[in-house]
Chains A and B, each alone.
Chain A
Amino acid sequence: MTTSLKTLSAAAALMACCWTGAVTASEGIDLESFSLEELLNVEVVSVSKKAESAVRAPAAVFIITAEDIRRSGATCVPEALRLAPGVHAARIDATRWALTVRGFNGRYANKLQVLVDGRSVYSPMFSGTYWEAGEVLLEDIEQIEVIRGPGATLWGANAVNGVINIITRRVDADDRVAVGAWTGGQGLYRTRASISENTGENGALRLSAAGTKRGSTVTTTGTDSGDDADEFLVTGRWDQDYGEHDRLTVSGRMLGLDQRLAYDATAPTPPFSTFGNDEATVRIAGIEATWHRDLSPASGLEISASRMWFRRDEFLLSDHHEIADLNLQHNFAPIDRHEVIWGAGYRHYQDDMRGSLGYGFEPSSQTDWTLHAFVQDEFTAVRDRLELTLGAKIEKRNYIDTRWQPSGRFAWTPGDRHTVWGSVASAIRTPSRSDRHLFIDIAAIPPGATPMNPDNTIMLSLLGDDGVTPEELIAYETGYRLQPADHLLLDFAYFFNEYENLISSQAGGIRPHPIYGLPVMQMPLIRTNSNGGHTEGGELAATMAGERARLRLTYSYITNEKHSPGEDESAGFQELNTPHHQYSAHLGLNPGAGLEVDLLYRHLQSFKIDEVAIPAQDELDLRLGLMTGNRWRLSLGGRNLLHENHLEFYDNSGSPFRSLVERTYVATAEWRF
Chain B
Amino acid sequence: MAVLIVNMRRSMNRCFIRLLSGILVALCSAAAPCLASGGGDVTIGADKLPELKSAVVVRILQFAQWRGESAGNGTEPLRMGVLGGDKITAALAAHAGADINGRRLEVTTVTSIDDAAHCQVLYISDEDGDHATLVDALDLRTLPGVLSISDAPRFNDDGGIIQLSLENGKLVFTINTNCLEARHLFLSSRLMSVAHVYDDGS
The reply to whether B35 and A592 contact each other, CB–CB distance below 8 Å, is yes
- Give the distance in Å from the alpha carbon of A47 to the alpha carbon of B24 in the complex: 32
The reply to whether B24 and A636 contact each other, CB–CB distance below 8 Å, is yes
The reply to whether B41 and A594 contact each other, CB–CB distance below 8 Å, is yes
**B40 CB contacts on chain A under 8 angstroms:** 38, 592-594, 627-629
The reply to whether B37 and A40 contact each other, CB–CB distance below 8 Å, is no
Binary CB contact string for chain B from 103 to 119 against chain A (1 if under 8 A, 0 otherwise): 00000000000000000
- Chain A nearest CB, measured from B181 CB (Å): 23
A1 CB within 8 Å of chain B:
no
- Please judge, given known A-B contacts A8-B21, A629-B41, whether A15 and B55 are in contact too, CB under 8 Å: no
- Chain A nearest CB, measured from B97 CB (Å): 12
- Chain B nearest CB, measured from A239 CB (Å): 13
The reply to whether B31 and A39 contact each other, CB–CB distance below 8 Å, is no
- Give the distance in Å from the alpha carbon of A41 to the alpha carbon of B38 in the complex: 13
- Chain A nearest CB, measured from B66 CB (Å): 19
- Chain B nearest CB, measured from A25 CB (Å): 7
**A11 CB contacts on chain B under 8 angstroms:** 21, 24-25, 28
* A18: contacting residue among B35, B55, B191, CB under 8 A: B35
The reply to whether B39 and A33 contact each other, CB–CB distance below 8 Å, is yes
The reply to whether B6 and A224 contact each other, CB–CB distance below 8 Å, is yes
B residues 16-73 near A (Cβ < 8 Å) are: 16-18, 20-25, 27-29, 31-32, 34-49, 51-52, 55-56, 58-60, 62-63
B13 CB within 8 Å of chain A:
yes
- Give the distance in Å from the alpha carbon of A174 to the alpha carbon of B168 in the complex: 11
A218 CB within 8 Å of chain B:
yes
A244 CB within 8 Å of chain B:
no
- Please judge, given known A-B contacts A11-B25, A665-B17, whether A36 and B59 are in contact too, CB under 8 Å: yes
- Please judge, given known A-B contacts A32-B55, A39-B56, A42-B171, whether A22 and B36 are in contact too, CB under 8 Å: yes
- Chain A nearest CB, measured from B12 CB (Å): 8
Residue of A nearest to B38 (CB): A33
Residue of B nearest to A224 (CB): B2
The reply to whether B43 and A43 contact each other, CB–CB distance below 8 Å, is yes
B14 CB within 8 Å of chain A:
yes
Residue of A nearest to B51 (CB): A31
A residues 468-499 near B (Cβ < 8 Å) are: 486
- Give the distance in Å from the alpha carbon of A18 to the alpha carbon of B59 in the complex: 31
- Give the distance in Å from the alpha carbon of A347 to the alpha carbon of B188 in the complex: 59
A145 CB within 8 Å of chain B:
no
User: In terms of DSSP, what is the predominant structure of the interface of chain A?
Assistant: mixed
* B44: contacting residue among A35, A45, A222, A629, CB under 8 A: A45
- Please judge, given known A-B contacts A15-B28, A22-B35, whether A42 and B21 are in contact too, CB under 8 Å: no
**A10 CB contacts on chain B under 8 angstroms:** 21, 25
A residues 166-196 near B (Cβ < 8 Å) are: 172, 174, 185-187
Residue of B nearest to A36 (CB): B59
The reply to whether B170 and A44 contact each other, CB–CB distance below 8 Å, is yes
- Give the distance in Å from the alpha carbon of A218 to the alpha carbon of B8 in the complex: 12
- Give the distance in Å from the alpha carbon of A663 to the alpha carbon of B15 in the complex: 12
The reply to whether A8 and B56 contact each other, CB–CB distance below 8 Å, is no
The reply to whether A591 and B31 contact each other, CB–CB distance below 8 Å, is yes
B residues 99-145 near A (Cβ < 8 Å) are: none
* A8: contacting residue among B9, B20, B35, B49, CB under 8 A: B20
- Chain B nearest CB, measured from A637 CB (Å): 8
The reply to whether A45 and B41 contact each other, CB–CB distance below 8 Å, is no
- Chain A nearest CB, measured from B93 CB (Å): 14
The reply to whether A7 and B22 contact each other, CB–CB distance below 8 Å, is yes
The reply to whether B37 and A46 contact each other, CB–CB distance below 8 Å, is no
The reply to whether B171 and A592 contact each other, CB–CB distance below 8 Å, is no
- Give the distance in Å from the alpha carbon of A185 to the alpha carbon of B62 in the complex: 50
Residue among A18, A36, A43, A662 with max Cβ neighbours from chain B (10 Å): A36
The reply to whether B27 and A44 contact each other, CB–CB distance below 8 Å, is no
A residues 582-614 near B (Cβ < 8 Å) are: 590-595
A29 CB within 8 Å of chain B:
yes
- Give the distance in Å from the alpha carbon of A573 to the alpha carbon of B60 in the complex: 69
Binary CB contact string for chain A from 151 to 165 against chain B (1 if under 8 A, 0 otherwise): 000000000000000
**A222 CB contacts on chain B under 8 angstroms:** 3, 6
- Please judge, given known A-B contacts A39-B52, A67-B43, whether A223 and B6 are in contact too, CB under 8 Å: yes
* B52: contacting residue among A44, A545, A664, CB under 8 A: A44
* B18: contacting residue among A4, A48, A590, CB under 8 A: A4
The reply to whether A663 and B13 contact each other, CB–CB distance below 8 Å, is yes
A626 CB within 8 Å of chain B:
yes
Chain A contacts to B: CB under 8 angstroms: 2-5, 7-8, 10-12, 14-15, 18-19, 21-22, 25-26, 28-48, 67, 172, 174, 185-187, 215, 218, 222-224, 486, 545, 547, 590-595, 622, 624, 626-630, 636, 638, 662-665
A-B contact pairs, 21 of them (CB 8 A): A10-B25, A15-B24, A15-B28, A19-B35, A21-B35, A25-B36, A32-B38, A38-B40, A40-B170, A41-B42, A42-B44, A42-B170, A44-B43, A44-B48, A47-B47, A224-B2, A591-B35, A593-B40, A636-B24, A665-B13, A665-B17
Other than the known A39-B55, A40-B56, what 5 A-B pairs have Cβ atoms closer than 8 Å? A26-B36, A31-B52, A42-B44, A185-B12, A222-B6
Chain B contacts to A: CB under 8 angstroms: 2-3, 5-6, 9-10, 12-14, 16-18, 20-25, 27-29, 31-32, 34-49, 51-52, 55-56, 58-60, 62-63, 95, 166, 168-172, 191, 194
| The 3 residue pairs across chains A and B that have the minimum distance between CB atoms | A594-B40, A7-B21, A33-B38
